[in-house]
Structure formats: structure tokens, C-alpha cells
């Protein structure tokens, strides 16, 4: 079916996909120190890198690949002046769930009006999306009001933590007791999928809608990820803990090590997943990550996140002496697209359909005609001159006594 054209509420506002000149304008505004009205908790995108690789990213959008939606940018402009932008991306392989990565409104523009128009534009044009998510800092009251106004509801509360260097150094002094710690490969996708499913409550699992293919990476995806890490000066480490009795993965981590910059080392990032029945793995996995940081370096604080449905992780981080950096709110909303009919249904066409549904008259068969004709109506056999055989003459009727 052809999509319904999108008509913004503001007649003088033009909504369209982003182009190179828009990326260049956004990169220049960031260089000038103008962030505008940022409406998400995510960090400012690296527009300079997007501008450098814009041509390649445009080519990669024409066929399926891991970077097909790396630059899904839409903008709003008025009188040929950029007044808002939105950056989105899918979060699963089926592209049924999309994330609002970054929303920004130019100074002097209405945050709610421009932001709502950009969100409605994405809702109407991304027909694959059934669910949308966004992360908002709890201190951004205007952003929370914007997303609530457009149908987003709170899903979970996230807390950002930072473990200081002193704590990591103390943890690295001992060896982690993880005899079944294995590297991650494509053959482990079913185990990692089961672990991810068990680590999330049902309502969160339904929103993210992950599948086993989300935990696999083909050769092209691995090559692209390696090039990205090398260009960014990053290094990725990871693994999972295998439970031989249950034949299941019970915990895993993914560690992104930052390289040296001009101002020194910055914080490392970690993503931790632990089965709710094996919370004793938190100290051991933390020791494993601290040992990797001490061995590879540089020594820097470690940042990770926790959710409100993971009270054991928050309790352990509090006991460890980690510092809370901030709080975010994970919000989501569903989208149901209306399908426009190709032609109107008339009463004449409905009558033709009803006539075609009437039962047909039964056709008479040979047995039906034989039973319908009475025996007295049957024609008498034609007389013949040939005498009957002697044995075939019936006996004469007897008179009653």
C-alpha cells in the first residue's frame, strides 16, 4: 500500500531526510560550542566523523549491512534555515524496535513544536518500527514532557556508575574464580540469547524484541567493527561464564578500553549481564575486568550502568564504593500504522459478492429420476410374437376356499 503523505502542523516547516550540508552545519555548530536544545541523555554525536564518512555511509544504505542505518538523520528547516534534527537507529536485527538517539532544537525555536514534528515524521516514515525507545536524563524536565506528550511511557530507571582507579587497582590484586570463562563466538548465540532473555523482565524483553541473530556477527560486521575500533583508538574485550550442569551462560561482560588522548586517559566503558539466580558472579566478573584493565591499560575509571530491576547490582556497587554519576529514564511507545484502502467498497460490488455466495441448485442424477417416476407410469413393454419358454409361465391363480 502507498504510504500516507506526512503533513506537518506548521505549514512553513519542511521536514526531510538529512543531507551533507545538514551534517556540515551540525558539525560547525558543535565546533562553535552551540549544543542547542538537546532532548536526549545520549552524548553529542560525533558530527565531524559523520561528515568525513558521509559518502561511504550513503552508499552503505543501499544494501543490507551492519552500517546500513548508521546515519539515519532527519531535519526540520524553515526559510532554508536548520531549526531541528533527529538521529535514530534500529536496536535489533528485525528492525522492529528503533531508538531515538539524539534530538536537538535550534536556539529560539519552540522545543515542543519542533521536537513533536520531528518525532511524528519518524513515526510515519519508518514503517518497520513497531516500538520506539528513548533515554532521557531525569533532570531534563522539558524533554520528559516532550516525550510524554508524544505517547512515550516510562519503562525502567537507569543509573550510571563510576568505579575509581583505586578500587580497580585493589580488585586486580587477586585472581577471579571463573574456571569456565570462555570467549564469545557465533556458536554461542543461543546461550547469550537465553541469558539476555532471563536477565530482563517480560515487559522490557517485549520492547527490545531481540533474537538469536542479534548475538551473531558475520565476517563483514566483524571487519567493520574492527575498523571502527581502530580508528577510534578503542579496544574491545569480553567473554561469558558457562555453567556445565545447566548447559547455559550465566554471566558475561563486554569491556571497551579507551586509549590515550591528548589530555590523558578517559573512562573505560563496560556492559555487564548476569543471570538473576547467579548474583554471586558480580565480584568475580568485576575482578576479571579490573585485571584486564591493569594488564592492557591505561589505568582509568570504569563506567557501567544498572537498572531498577537489578537491585543486587546496585547493592554491590554501593558496597564497592562506586560513585553515582546520574540517573536516566528509559521510555518507550508503540506505533500502529494505518493502512489506506486502495479503493472504496460500493454497494453494487457487495451485492455481486452476496449473489456469488448463494447455494447452487442440486443436479438430478440417474437414481433420482428412477425413483421419481412411478412404476405405473412406466411404458408397457412392446408385444412380441416369440412364445415364452415353458418354465417361465406363471401358475394360474387359485380360487379361495
pTM of the model: 0.78
Under the banding of pLDDT at 50, 70 and 90, the label for residue 373 is low
Residues 140 and 168 reside in one and the same domain: no
Instruction: For Cα atoms 238, 192, 284, give the angle at the middle one, nearest 5 degrees.
Output: 50
Q: What percent of the chain has pLDDT over 90?
A: 52
pLDDT, averaged across the chain: 83
Residues 145 and 162 reside in one and the same domain: no
Enclosing domain of residue 60: 1-151
DSSP letters of 247-311?
TEEEEEEEEEEE-EETTEE--EEEEEEE-TT-TTHHHHHHHHHHHHHHHH-----EEEEEETT-H
What average pLDDT does the segment 305-329 reach? Answer: 94
In a domain, 346, yes or no: no
Q: With 50 as the cut, is the pLDDT of residue 4 above it?
A: no
User: In whole angstroms, what is the distance from residue 209 CA to residue 317 CA?
Assistant: 28
What average pLDDT does the segment 362-378 reach? Answer: 53
Residues 22 and 75 reside in one and the same domain: yes
Under the banding of pLDDT at 50, 70 and 90, the label for residue 217 is confident
- Rounded to 10 degrees, what is the CA torsion of 321, 267, 42, 218? -110
Under the banding of pLDDT at 50, 70 and 90, the label for residue 2 is very low
Instruction: For Cα atoms 177, 179, 182, give the angle at the middle one, nearest 5 degrees.
Output: 120
DSSP letters of 348-370?
HHHHHHHHHTSPPPPPP-HHHHH
Residues 312 and 171 reside in one and the same domain: yes
pLDDT at 3: 41
Residues 300 and 204 reside in one and the same domain: yes
CATH number of the domain within which 33 lies: 3.40.630.30
**Structural domains in the chain (count):** 2
pLDDT per residue over 140-170, tens digit each? 999 999 999 999 999 999 999 999 999 999 9
Q: Tell me, what DSSP letter sits at residue 43?
A: P
Residues 316 and 181 reside in one and the same domain: yes
pLDDT per residue over 135-145, tens digit each? 999 999 999 99
In a domain, 3, yes or no: yes
Q: Which of 329, 354, 381 is where one domain is finished?
A: 329
Q: With 80 as the cut, is the pLDDT of residue 262 above it?
A: no
In a domain, 82, yes or no: yes
- Higher pLDDT pick, 378 / 38: 38
pLDDT at 5: 43
Q: 47: which 3 cell numbers?
A: 558530527
Residues 162 and 310 reside in one and the same domain: yes
In a domain, 287, yes or no: yes
Residues 209 and 283 reside in one and the same domain: yes
In a domain, 357, yes or no: no
In a domain, 381, yes or no: no
pLDDT at 89: 94
Amino acid at each position: 500500500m502507498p504510504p500516507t503523505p506526512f503533513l506537518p502542523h506548521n505549514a512553513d516547516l519542511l521536514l526531510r531526510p538529512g543531507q551533507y550540508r545538514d551534517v556540515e552545519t551540525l558539525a560547525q555548530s558543535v565546533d562553535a560550542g552551540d549544543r542547542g536544545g538537546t532532548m536526549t541523555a545520549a552524548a553529542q554525536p560525533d558530527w565531524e566523523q559523520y561528515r568525513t564518512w558521509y559518502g561511504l555511509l550513503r552508499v552503505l544504505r543501499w544494501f543490507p549491512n551492519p552500517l546500513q542505518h548508521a546515519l539515519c538523520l532527519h531535519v526540520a528547516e524553515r526559510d532554508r534555515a536548520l531549526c531541528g534534527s533527529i538521529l535514530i537507529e534500529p536496536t535489533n536485527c528485525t528492525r522492529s524496535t528503533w531508538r531515538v538517539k539524539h534530538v536537538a532544537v535550534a536556539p529560539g525555536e519552540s522545543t515542543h513544536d519542533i521536537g513533536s514534528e520531528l518525532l511524528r515524521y519518524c513515526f510515519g516514515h519508518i514503517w518497520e518500527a513497531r516500538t520506539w525507545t528513548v533515554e532521557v536524563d531525569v533532570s531534563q524536565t522539558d524533554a520528559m514532557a516532550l516525550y510524554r506528550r508524544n505517547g512515550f511511557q516510562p519503562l525502567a530507571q537507569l543509573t550510571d556508575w563510576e568505579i575509581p582507579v583505586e578500587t580497580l587497582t585493589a580488585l586486580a590484586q587477586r585472581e577471579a574464580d571463573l574456571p569456565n570463562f570462555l570467549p564469545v563466538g557465533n556458536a554461542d548465540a543461543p546461550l547469550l540469547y537465553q541469558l539476555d532473555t532471563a536477565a530482563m523482565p517480560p515487559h522490557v524483553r517485549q520492547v527490545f524484541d531481540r533474537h538469536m541473530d542479534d548475538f551473531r556477527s558475520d565476517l563483514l560486521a566483524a571487519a567493520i567493527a574492527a575498523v571502527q575500533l581502530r580508528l577510534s583508538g578503542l579496544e574491545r574485550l569480553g567473554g561469558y561464564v558457562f555453567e556445565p550442569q545447566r548447559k547455559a551462560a550465566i554471566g558475561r561482560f563486554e569491556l571497551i578500553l579507551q586509549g590515550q588522548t591528548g589530555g590523558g586517559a578517559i573512562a573505560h566503558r563496560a556492559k555487564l549481564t548476569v543471570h538473576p539466580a547467579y548474583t554471586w558472579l558480580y565480584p568475580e566478573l568485576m575482578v576479571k575486568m579490573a585485571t584486564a584493565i591493569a594488564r592492557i591499560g591505561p589505568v582509568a575509571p570504569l563506567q557501567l550502568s544498572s537498572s531498577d530491576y537489578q537491585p543486587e547490582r546496585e547493592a554491590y556497587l554501593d558496597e564497592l564504593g562506586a560513585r553515582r554519576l546520574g540517573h536516566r529514564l528509559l521510555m518507550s511507545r508503540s506505533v500502529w500504522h494505518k493502512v489506506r484502502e486502495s479503493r472504496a467498497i460500493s454497494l453494487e460490488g457487495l451485492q455481486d459478492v452476496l449473489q456469488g455466495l448463494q447455494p447452487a441448485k442440486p443436479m438430478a442424477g440417474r437414481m433420482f429420476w428412477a425413483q421419481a417416476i412411478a412404476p405405473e407410469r412406466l411404458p408397457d413393454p412392446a408385444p412380441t410374437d416369440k412364445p415364452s419358454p415353458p418354465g417361465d409361465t406363471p401358475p394360474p391363480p387359485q380360487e379361495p376356499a
